[in-house]
Amino acid sequence: MPRVFSGIQPTGDIHLGNLLGALRNWVSDQHEADSFYCIVDLHALTVPKEPGEVGQRTLELAQVLLAVGLDPEVCTLFVQSHVTEHSELAWLLQCVTSMGELRRMTQFKDKSEGKDFVSAGLFTYPALQAADILLYDTDRVPVGEDQIQHIELTRDVAERFNHRYGETFRLPAASVPTAGARVMDLQDPTRKMSKSSESPAGTILVTEDLGSVAKKIKRAVTDSEPEVRYDPAAKPGVSNLLSILGAVTGRDPEEVAGDYEQYGPLKSDTAEAVVELLRPIQERIAELQKDPERTAALLEVGAEKAREVASGVLERAKRNIGLLPRAHG
Ligand code: TYM
């Protein structure tokens, strides 16, 4: 069975882009691969957080992931900081990653631009991400389009390590969905959908009131041309709606475009499809919130399963580097 690994940050704003670009593939992959899914709480610390905030968000995110359809009997769902091997391998990988490589990362450029305080962790973030992936001998990483650059860096770092210290890491490949890989902001369809704090009217949250979800989709920016056509460069707003509807209904956006002559019906159908996608997820979240200890216990089981794999791979890396082993270790 191929090995799959992916991660998501507990930022508290899980949106339609996360769901269509990544999480839906996680759910389908869990039945086809030996899948490890990680809530990357250490990555969330790269930008300032209040005490307690990340822990609370981690639990909430775990509930969302279970509600979306991850089955802890089938996949391994765990929290990054519960498996300390991640931090340790990240250090080893930082030492084979160049400043130049890190400087080229667009996520770093986007997140650091115009900020007074930029942490060193934000800069070395991709080395921790590489550690996440490489610790599980991963074949495939289901992600949205914005993460492809980080997966390519992971491959480069793994190759460099293997070249320097001998065959240690398996080289992973990104897997990106055909529709929904880049869900755009509903108000500014030239930028990707991201945290709601940056664009409340342009972002749909998985936990949002369903009336508000429908309203936002109906108010999505389109253009003044009457024709419904999938053309992301010339018609980004309409194309985004077609991609969303395509992703939710499992169809090609071009094919979806053929069903519509006007924007109004396209918007109503997209709104309805998204509302019906989110409704059962929200019902399951409400159920899970009644028993937070159960979610915490599931994460503990996940951490144990993850550590079994991660500890072996970390040991292999240390042995191949040739660090002095402990006398009784
Ligand atoms: P994060 O937490 O920002 O996003 C989680 C997943 O959602 C996808 N995504 C999108 N897909 C389509 N349209 C969008 N507008 C959109 N916004 C986000 C992301 O591509 C991602 O798949 N660095 C990662 C977390 C991470 C990770 C890993 C991922 C840490 N370690 C190891 C894979 C493997 C991140 O910040 O994702």
Ligand 1 lined by 189 (C-beta under 6 Å): no
Ligand 1 lined by 43 (C-beta under 6 Å): yes
CA angle 48, 49, 51 (to 5 degrees): 140
Pick from 168, 153, 94, 156: nearest CA to 128: 94
The catalytic residue positions are 111, 192, 195
**217 and 274 Cβ atoms separated by less than 8 Å:** yes
Average pLDDT over residues 253-277: 97
Does the pLDDT at position 140 exceed 90? yes
pTM of the model: 0.96
- Cα atoms in the 13 Å half-sphere on the side-chain side of 240: 25
Structure tokens at 289: 């919130």
Nearest CA to ligand 1 atom 26: 7
233 vs 190: CA distance, rounded Å: 9
Structure tokens at 304: 């144990």
Confidence category of residue 198, pLDDT binned at 50, 70, 90: confident
Expressed in angstroms and rounded, the spacing between residue 327 Cα and the centre of ligand 1 is 41
Does the pLDDT at position 294 exceed 70? yes
Instruction: Enumerate the β-bridge partners of residue 34.
Output: 3
**281 and 206 Cβ atoms separated by less than 8 Å:** yes
Ligand 1 lined by 18 (C-beta under 6 Å): yes
Does the pLDDT at position 72 exceed 90? yes
Mean pLDDT, all residues of the chain: 96
Nearest CA to ligand 1 atom 18: 18
Ligand 1 lined by 97 (C-beta under 6 Å): no
- Quick one: which atom of ligand 1 is closest to the CA of 181? 12
Nearest CA to ligand 1 atom 20: 144
Ligand 1 lined by 126 (C-beta under 6 Å): no
Ligand 1 lined by 193 (C-beta under 6 Å): yes
pLDDT digits (tens, 9 = 90+) for 217-250: 999 999 989 899 999 999 999 999 999 999 999 9
Confidence category of residue 13, pLDDT binned at 50, 70, 90: confident
pLDDT for 192: 93
pLDDT digits (tens, 9 = 90+) for 21-46: 999 999 999 999 999 999 999 999 99
Does the pLDDT at position 70 exceed 80? yes
Does the pLDDT at position 138 exceed 70? yes
Ligand 1 lined by 181 (C-beta under 6 Å): yes
Expressed in angstroms and rounded, the spacing between residue 319 Cα and the centre of ligand 1 is 32
**204 and 215 Cβ atoms separated by less than 8 Å:** no
- Quick one: which atom of ligand 1 is closest to the CA of 144? 20
Expressed in angstroms and rounded, the spacing between residue 143 Cα and the centre of ligand 1 is 6
pLDDT for 108: 95
Confidence category of residue 329, pLDDT binned at 50, 70, 90: low
Structure tokens at 12: 């508290």
Ligand 1 lined by 92 (C-beta under 6 Å): no
- Quick one: which atom of ligand 1 is closest to the CA of 126? 23
Pick from 203, 240, 197, 200: nearest CA to 222: 240
| Percent of the chain residues topping a pLDDT of 90 | 94
**183 and 239 Cβ atoms separated by less than 8 Å:** no
196 vs 212: CA distance, rounded Å: 13
Nearest CA to ligand 1 atom 14: 17
Pocket test for ligand 1, best of 3, 8, 188, 244 (most atoms within 8 A of CB): 8
Average pLDDT over residues 1-9: 97
Ligand 1 lined by 192 (C-beta under 6 Å): yes
pLDDT for 196: 74
- Quick one: which atom of ligand 1 is closest to the CA of 180? 12
- Quick one: which atom of ligand 1 is closest to the CA of 133? 32
